[in-house]
Amino acid sequence: MVLPDNDAYLDINSSMKLPPITKEHITLYFLQFHKNPNDGKSLYEARFLHILRAAFIGDSCYFKGYVKASMKRIMYEANVKLSIKGEILECNCECVAGSGVSAHCKHVAVVLCGLENFINDKILLKTEAPTEKLQTFHMPKKVFTGSPLKAHKLPSKRKSIENIVFEPYKKRINVQEYTQKVRNIILNCKSQMPFKQLWACKSISIENDHDYCRLVTNQIFEQLELNTLSLNRIQEIERETLRERKS
């Protein structure tokens, strides 16, 4: 296969006028040798194509591609000659199965699949270099801007929530005496919790605990003379405390 000089080849780009090769052209070419181009297509999708270049000499278009071997750490050079109408004229490859001018190996199929994909879809899957993908380990993470997830929307491991018991206490607990039990625990253990403020002081609450005792409230009223207070006593207290503000 006669090839042009290496200086005539250029990297393919979207501004080049390339021949309209289709998948039908590739399938018909490999059917002549009873071969299936799917092996080459899978290698192309796995990014085994390293580079693809083109050269235009007269009415012919030459394409040169470097394809990585599937089992070795080497590259094979595959050359394809097309007509202006997209017909495959000659193919050649450096591998053992690609000798001659009618090569039908999988490396040639990789070049043809890449060329067809670039012409029709403007996409070319090549081997990614280490510097093509930017580093991301030093990039800050994106701040979460969405609304927080509702509690009832959280995923649950339970298949159903019908048998869930929402009562925090056991059924054996006497609910009516539960308040009295908590009160006794807090008072006997000298707890510093604010629960103490829920009950009255001992001088007043003793009336509720012991009915047989003398009422403390009546005793307080007697000391303050509130039960036996008369109009004369009010006037007397007023005269006694009249000058206390000036003293």
Q: Is residue 206 part of a domain?
A: yes
Q: Range of 76's domain?
A: 6-121
Give domain status of residue 141, yes or no: no
**pLDDT of 174 higher than 70:** yes
Which residue type is seen at 216? V
- Kindly state whether residues 13 and 90 are assigned to the same domain: yes
Residue 9 has pLDDT above 90, yes or no: yes
In a 3-state reduction of DSSP, which class is residue 121? helix
Tell me whether residue 158 is in a domain: no
* Number of residues assigned to the chain: 247
104, 121, 138: which is the final residue of a domain? 121
The verdict on 14 and 96 lying in the same domain is yes
Please report, for residues 148, 155, 188, the alpha-carbon distance to residue 151 in angstroms, rounded to integers and kept in the order given: 9, 9, 39
Tell me, yes or no, whether 213 lies in a domain: yes
pTM of the model: 0.54
Answer whether residue 118 shows pLDDT above 70: yes
**Three-state SS for 147?**
coil
What one-character DSSP code corresponds to residue 183? H
Assess if residue 78 is contained within a domain: yes
Going from the C-alpha of 168 to that of each of 161, 162, 171, 198, the distances in angstroms are 16, 16, 10, 22
CA distance readout (Å), 22 to 12, 113, 120, 149, 225? 17, 9, 8, 50, 115
Sign of CA dihedral 90, 91, 92, 95: negative
Domain end: 121, 153, 170, which one?
121
Evaluate whether residue 170 is within a structural domain.
no
Asked if 32 and 110 sit in the same domain, the reply is yes
103 and 187 part of one domain: no
Residue with the bigger pLDDT between 157 and 165: it is 157
Share the mean pLDDT of the chain.
Answer: 82
Are residues 218 and 115 located together in one domain of the fold? no
22 and 113, same domain (yes or no): yes
182 confidence band (pLDDT: 50, 70, 90): confident
From 182, 223, 175, select the one nearest 199 (Cα to Cα). Answer: 182
Residue 234 in this model has a pLDDT that exceeds 90: no
Q: Is the model's pLDDT at 6 over the cut of 80? A: yes
Domain-located, residue 138: no
Report whether 34 contacts 27 (CB < 8 A).
no
18 shares a domain with 102: yes
pLDDT tier at 145, thresholds 50, 70, 90: confident
Say what the pLDDT of residue 100 is.
Answer: 86
**Cα separation values, 19 from 60, 83, 85, 121, Å:** 9, 7, 6, 14
Q: Same domain for 29 and 96?
A: yes
Q: Of the candidates 121, 146, 170, which is a domain's last residue?
A: 121
If one counts the domains in the chain, the total is 2
Give domain status of residue 247, yes or no: no
CB 64 within 8 A of CB 9: yes
Q: Are 17 and 101 in a shared domain?
A: yes
